[in-house]
């Protein structure tokens, strides 16, 4: 009798295990079917729909709305709906749509939302919270060619929290050299690290960083502006005048911050010459 009971228990366990595997397979199949369905909607209403129109057109928005009507959980459609509005300066409504993208795919779109808050909407405290939260969940990374810490440091600069900005830039500078090598350092990273030094009246250290930025981008007018200011602070007036002239000449010829999104937004500490 004990043997029969034991056999029954073993058969029940095996049956349960098989049922669990079967259920898991069904769930996996369902996810795959959903992904295929979403891809078809994206192809129909984005790749063969909205992308055939100007991004600032009503047709762009209408096509995406048709796709979202079929499946409102497609994060990419929400991001593509938000992106033109953000570029037009319609930040409040644009961020609402990006929030939807984050809701349905946090890992892919939260870093983009944090970037948008920093560079476009200029809600720096929110940007810091978003980046720090993302780092805690997923670790160190990059968005739009710069590290998360770059944008955190930039946000602190814009909040006049210069010591925090300097510390963030310093840590990121050391991390990138260790992980990628000095050649990896971007001229904009060096510029803003130098700006944090400038704001703390550390003029000689700022100039060192500005010089490193100029090695990578010799006509960078915004760097030349602040290098000239630092030189004047150090009473190096002739050299300061030289960099003032270089800055104006290069600035009027368009040698400024050359990020992809700088055509839509003026970046922090960027000078306007026209």
What's the residue count for the chain? 274
CB 264 within 8 A of CB 91: no
CA 132/CA 44 separation, integer angstroms: 36
Backbone angles phi, psi at 93, to 5 degrees: -70, -35
- Name which of 74, 91, 73, 71 is nearest 82 in CA terms: 91
Residue 251: Cβ-neighbour burial (10 angstroms; 0-12, 13-18, 19+)? buried
What is the rounded end-to-end Cα distance, in angstroms, of the chain?
A: 95
Residues 6 or more apart in contact with residue 70 via CB below 8 angstroms = 41, 45
pLDDT score recorded for residue 10:
39
For the record, the structure tokens of 50 come out as 């909205």
Averaged pLDDT, groups of 10, the chain, 274 residues long: 40 39 34 76 95 96 97 97 96 97 96 97 98 96 96 98 98 93 93 98 98 97 98 97 97 94 93 84
CA 117/CA 112 separation, integer angstroms: 9
pLDDT score recorded for residue 135:
96
pLDDT score recorded for residue 230:
98
Domain ranges in the chain are 123-182, 186-274
CB 147 within 8 A of CB 172: yes
Query: Under CATH, which number does the domain 186-274 receive?
Result: 1.25.40.10
pLDDT score recorded for residue 229:
98
For the record, the structure tokens of 19 come out as 């049922």
Reported pTM: 0.85
């Amino acid at each position: 009798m004990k043997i029969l009971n034991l056999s029954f228990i073993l058969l029940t366990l095996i049956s349960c295990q098989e049922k669990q595997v079967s259920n898991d397979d069904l769930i996996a199949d369902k996810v795959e079917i959903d992904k295929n369905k979403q891809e078809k909607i994206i192809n129909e209403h984005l790749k063969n729909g909205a992308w055939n129109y100007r991004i600032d057109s009503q047709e762009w928005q209408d096509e995406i709305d048709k796709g979202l009507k079929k499946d409102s959980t497609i994060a990419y459609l929400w991001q593509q709906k938000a992106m033109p509005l953000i570029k037009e300066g319609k930040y409040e409504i644009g961020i609402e749509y990006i929030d939807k993208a984050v809701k349905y795919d946090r890992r892919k779109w939260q870093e983009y939302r944090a970037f948008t808050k920093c560079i476009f909407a200029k809600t720096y405290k929110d940007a810091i919270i978003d980046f720090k939260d993302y780092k805690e969940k997923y670790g160190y990374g990059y968005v739009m060619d710069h590290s998360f810490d770059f944008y955190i440091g930039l946000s602190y600069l814009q909040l006049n929290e210069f010591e925090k900005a300097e510390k963030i830039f310093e840590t990121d500078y050391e991390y990138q050299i260790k992980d990628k090598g000095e050649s990896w350092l971007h001229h904009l990273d060096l510029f803003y690290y130098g700006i944090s030094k400038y704001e703390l009246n550390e003029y000689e250290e700022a100039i060192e960083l500005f010089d490193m930025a100029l090695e990578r981008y010799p006509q960078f007018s915004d760097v030349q502006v602040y290098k000239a200011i630092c030189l004047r602070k150090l009473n190096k007036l002739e050299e300061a005048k030289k960099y003032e002239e270089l800055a104006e000449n290069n600035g009027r010829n368009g040698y400024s911050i050359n990020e992809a999104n700088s055509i839509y937004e003026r970046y922090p500490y960027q000078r306007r010459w026209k």
